[in-house]
Chain A
Amino acid sequence: MEHIKKIFNTKPYNYYIFFGILLSLAPTAQQLGLLNSSTIIVLGTVIFYSVVGVGLNVLLGYSGLISLGTAGFMGLGSYMAAYLTVDMNLPYFLSVIISVSIPLAVGLVIGLISLRIQGYYLAIATLGVSEILKQVFIEMDTLTGGFSGKSAFYPKIFGLLELNRQFTFIGMSIVLVLILIFSHNFINARTGRAFLTMRGSESAAKAMGINLLKYKLTAFGIATAYAALGGVLYIHFIRFAYPSGWSVTLSLQILAVIVIGGMRKMNGPVIGAFIVFGVPELILKQIPIISGIDGLAYIFTGVLIIVVILFYPDGVIDLLNPIKDYIEKYKENKNEEKSLLDNQ
């Protein structure tokens, strides 16, 4: 036990690797009959929304900027990936690079806007961008299939090997772990400190030599790149997208992900994504009486947001605090007993 603790303490991101390994065992568990096939789909959903959530957490949690345009960028990434792989037959990895870079470029332009407007106004502006993108998805039906939607395949690696759902899931787990480690590293370094300083006080940031233009653009760039990457993962796993899926509701759900999971915590978006996108499907729908209620997931999320904001502003993970306290007390008591015995 002590040994395991030591591994985690010396390299903090061993947690993420451990979590990733656990996650990639899920498809095997399904083949052994321990998990439903639908559970795998739900967990896959949790994975790509976690990636998107980590990006929004960098933007809102660490940098103090807001965006309600997440869904639009996610949609942009997914439609581009679908078009590039299905209609243009581009190799998978090339398509990923293009479908992340173009939304990234759009995101940087939004970043420029954020220098001029702040707070609610920025939220509304980003919401507008997202709605424009949604309208584009509907109108440009040669590229996006319009209302009837657009389908895609599982990722085809090196032009030969098309992955099945199990391997796609494992690939997604790896991407999530890499994203978590990468973000963990730059958040706990100069970039993360610059974000937090900018969030705390712009004048302090300026006095410390932090270039606001550069760091606001970086924050928006990361958020949109992660959102687009989440969209790419989505389209190659769910294999179908239609325009109404990329509405403001989704943006708000992703906002709920980071509020419930805990802002300024690297694992917050993962926990939040599991609660917002996993729990209603996996648990609430199994409960007999309430499973019939329409929009159960929304009610659940809404109630949870209120509870979290009122009682656990640092995220739902704090619900575990009483248990932690109990364990610590238990340990202390045991130690005391031991020392008493030793004295005797």
Chain B
Amino acid sequence: MKKNHCLTINNLTMTFGGIKAVDDLSFQIYENEIYGLIGPNGAGKTTVFNCITQFYKPNAGQVIFNNKSDQSIDLVTYQTHEIIQEGLVRTFQNIELINELSLLDNLLVGAHVHYETGIFFQGLRLKKARDEEIKMKKKAEKILEFLELFERKDELVAGQPYGVLKKVELGRTLMSDPKLIILDEPAAGLNETETTQLAGLLRDIRLEYDCTILLVEHDMRLVMDVCDRICAISFGRKLGEGTPRAIQKNKRVQEAYLGTEV
């Protein structure tokens, strides 16, 4: 079976001052795959993440993404807020939800780019704006049901348990009909049971919403459990790529994580 590429990173380089945070990194993610990007502290994972989502503009290299309309585009030429329209959506390590809004409204923020009406249509509550809002609310309710949070839909986000917040953030990404979801350390702050649940949830999301997932992760349990393929990096360079089993056996990865034998 021929696999279609979803995201291809070509020779990505990013420097801060004189330090090369990412050095000539290349990897490729196929469609409908759960891919993990791992590495010890300071390996440049977050920099890669930010270069993909265009929060940083890389010094060199390409980020080729196969977008919603099946065209290959170089994300580097796009502005940060335009990325989501192409079908790539991210989460944050320190959950960034809006405390003043309910769970449902937080999900609706994720559908921002799908709205067509502007402030005047909304202010005057014209039919088009009302219909659109009802349509989006139904979609959000369906996602909340999928996440088993439907009963809480009208509660405020402020004061919800951490696990719920993580789920809401995942739900918000689903609102944008993503092709590729890219998660920044989703297991951070979760205990062992919650991490196992998260792994299950990620698999369900891939099945139900037919999307590709890229994990940038520190937590080895989650990565080994859920990923199809893994790329390990250290000091901005690629150490190895392959199945979880192959990565575990990779000498260079072991050295980077555990240090070399004296």
Contacts and interface: CB of A to CB of B under 8 A. Distances in A.
Nearest to A205: B81
B98 A200 contact: yes
A186 B55 contact: no
Contact of B96 (A194, A203, A211): A203
Interface string A196-217: 1100110111111111100000
A5 interface: no
B99 interface: yes
A186 B82 contact: no
Contacts of B81: 205-212
A191 interface: yes
B132 to A, nearest CB: 8
A208 B98 contact: no
B56 to A, nearest CB: 12
Contacts of A182: 123-124
B109 A193 contact: yes
Interface stretch (B22-30, B100-108, B159-167): B100-108
Contact of A209 (B99, B105, B117, B176): B176
Interface residues of A, number: 25
A264 B109 contact: no
A31 interface: no
Contacts of A208: 81, 84, 109-110, 112-113, 172, 176
Contacts of A193: 98, 101, 105, 108-109, 112
A91 to B, nearest CB: 23
A211 B81 CA distance: 6
A208 B92 CA distance: 11
B122 interface: yes
Contacts of A206: 55, 80-81
B133 interface: yes
Contacts of B96: 200-201, 203-204, 207
Interface in B62-109: 80-85, 89-90, 92, 96-101, 105, 108-109
23 contacts: A182-B123, A183-B123, A186-B119, A189-B129, A189-B133, A190-B115, A190-B117, A190-B133, A193-B101, A200-B96, A200-B97, A200-B100, A204-B92, A207-B80, A207-B90, A208-B112, A208-B113, A209-B81, A209-B84, A209-B176, A211-B81, A212-B81, A218-B119
Interface of A: 182-183, 185-186, 189-191, 193-194, 196-197, 200-201, 203-212, 218, 264
